[in-house]
Amino acid sequence: MARVADERQSLFSFFKDQLRPRGKLITPFNVISIPVIIAGVIILFFRFTQGLGATTNLSQQNPWGIWIGFDVVTGVAFAGGAYVLTFAVYVMRMDKFHPIIRATVLNGFLAYVFYAGALVFDLGRPWHVINPVIGNAFGYNSVLFLVAWHFMLYMTAEFVEFSPVITEWLGLKKARRVANSLTLAAVILGISLSTLHQSGLGALFLMAKPKIHPLWYSEFIPIFFFVSSIFAGISMVIFESTISHRVFKMQMGPGSHERLNEIIIGLARGATIAMFVYYFFKALIFIHDDQWALIKGFWGAWYLTEVLGFVLVPMVLFAYGSRHKAVGIIKIAAVLTLIGVLLNRLNISVIAFNWNVADKYIPHWMEIVVTLTVVFSEIWIFRWIVNRMPVMREPGALGSPNRKRELQSLN
Amino acid sequence: METYSYVNIFETKGLEYILLICFMVMMVLLFRYMRAGMRDKS
């Protein structure tokens, strides 16, 4: 009885200790992000009490804005690195990518929680978000029904993939064994779900054929979304691991810099092949649909900027960088690719959407603040977890230092 | 009367076949290019 009380007390003091802020409070990131998050929370209060009209420029003509175009459609593509990397590590047994797998899965999980969660902001009647779960007008003919279920199941799968880290943090040996044994099943389920919902997001736009500029519309949008999520995810992993490596340098062991460079070169090879396949599809659709006449004018130039400047150029840079082990060039290619995917998703969902109407949608400043709030909040949570759980540290050591000391004092 | 021309590369989808062949050739070249980098490493 006394032991249970001691254990409870130890757990309480452990969590109290973990909640204490770590590191400096005044940093450039904190100075920028804290006011934005506060403003975003206030705007969201008005959005949920006054409705969409009070805080957005959305209308019946333009029902989807940047909350869908950036947060959901682009954010989910950027989170694609988790399924690509878990496939490479757990299915293809490419162990060299293992050191970054935990950070990638965490990033993917948080991206889904925050970006897919942002769907709620955009629903006119947000309480209906529960409908696909409780069976109140299932709407199983809708692509959104598939996307909703896939998001929920994928978030669960990613949580299971990440759960060994949580058990290590808490020092729970038996639970860790169980969590480890579930990982492979969760990975396989996660990959299957990803292939379908990444393309499912593209399928949402199939019904908007008259609204999307013909250079961006195709019956193959779902395939484009899926293939582009592969290199978008890989580029995000390169970008995120480069920044994490600097910010959390203290947590990494010796030789981590060389290991990261090798990983980045390997990722660049994968991105090159995925981009090459994407480029082929793009060219094939262009020729098949006989779109030569559309290339003239502003929209043609805008399309070529996206396809040549942000797909072909980074693809060549990735190939060159991986061939000559030029990590700096690969990082530039990753940033260009991220911009390219962002452009492509925004073109389909916002910029080239309703391209021929007079009442063109321009995001309200409050929509932009809320979008930044979502991004900054995700980074805050990511940082909080990485500073406490064994995400960047060498895997295997059970328990955080404090938790270990407490458990030892009980034994 | 409109006639169907078998030598028109657009109507016969010839351009798409050419693109496919180019893609496959370039894919092989791309793999060779990147494998050369891997060989240098070992």
Domain ranges of chain B: 9-42
Specify the 3-state DSSP secondary structure of A353: strand
Question: Which of B23, B28, B41 is the best substitution to test chain A (most A C-beta atoms within 10 A)?
Answer: B23
Could you please report the per-residue DSSP string of A235-301? HHHHHHHHHHHHHTGGGS-TTHHHHHHHHHHHHHHHHHHHHHHHHHHHHHHHHHTT-GGGGSHHHHH
The pLDDT tens digits of the residues spanning A356-378 come to 888 888 999 999 999 999 999 99
Angle at A12 between CA A10 and CA A18, to 5 degrees: 100
Distance CA A400, CA A388 (A): 7
Residue A411 has pLDDT above 50, yes or no: no
Residue A242, sorted as left (phi over 0), alpha (psi -120 to 50) or beta, turns out to be alpha
Distance CA B38, CA B42 (A): 7
| Start-to-end CA span in chain A (Å) | 15
The pLDDT tens digits of the residues spanning A251-293 come to 877 778 888 999 999 999 999 999 999 999 999 999 888 888 8
**For residues A319 and B33, is the Cβ–Cβ distance under 8 A?**
yes
pLDDT of residue A7: 73
Residue A60 has pLDDT above 90, yes or no: no
Contact B19 A283 (CB under 8 A): yes
What's the rounded mean pLDDT across residues A214-234?
Answer: 94
Question: Which of A261, A276, A312 is the best substitution to test chain B (most B C-beta atoms within 10 A)?
Answer: A276
Which amino acid makes up residue A158? E
Helices within A112-142 (DSSP H only): 117, 119-122, 131-134
Specify the 3-state DSSP secondary structure of A212: strand
pLDDT of residue B10: 65
Contact A319 B33 (CB under 8 A): yes
pLDDT band with cut points at 50, 70 and 90 for residue A20 = confident
φ, ψ (nearest 5 deg) of residue A372? -65, -35
Rounded to the nearest angstrom, the minimum Cα separation between A251 and chain B is: 28
**For residues A265 and A322, is the Cβ–Cβ distance under 8 A?**
yes
ipTM of the modeled complex = 0.74
List chain B residues with CB under 8 Å of A276. 26-27, 30
Task: Give bridge partners of residue A212 from the DSSP assignment.
Answer: A353
